[in-house]
Amino acid sequence: MKSKGLKIKKGDKVKILTGKDQGQEGEVMSVSTGRGKVLVSGINLVKHFGKKTPQDEGGIVEREAPLPVSNVAIVCPKCKKASRVSKDRVCKNCGAKIDKPNVRKSAKK
């Protein structure tokens, strides 16, 4: 499957456009370019039923589920509005450049 060039990056602040969490804002934790999905912190929580293991008690745990990238919009840091973004990561509302978030990549071991 060919990967899509997504305009949303890890660390971006996004607003949810549709679904049960419509109108809420959160930070992108991870982006799956092949599937076209994003994982947003504290949004789209689902219950996961974990199995009991010697290391873990198991039970019901809430965790984030991926959202389609079309259901989120970047929040411009200058005008504080959800907006579409051009290929050069420029806000379509005010024309401000949206800088890449300062996210450190983990060192490979």
Q: Domains along the chain?
A: 1-103 (2.30.30.30)
Q: What is the pLDDT of residue 56?
A: 85
- Candidates 13, 16, 9, 11; CA nearest to 71 is 16
**pLDDT interval class at 24 (50, 70, 90):** very high
What DSSP element (H or E) covers 29? Answer: strand 25-32
**pLDDT interval class at 1 (50, 70, 90):** very low
Instruction: Note the pTM of the prediction, 2 decimals.
Output: 0.77
Mean predicted confidence (pLDDT) in 11-30: 94
Q: What is the pLDDT of residue 67?
A: 94
Residues 6+ apart with CB under 8 A from 93: 76, 79, 81, 83
Q: What is the pLDDT of residue 103?
A: 62
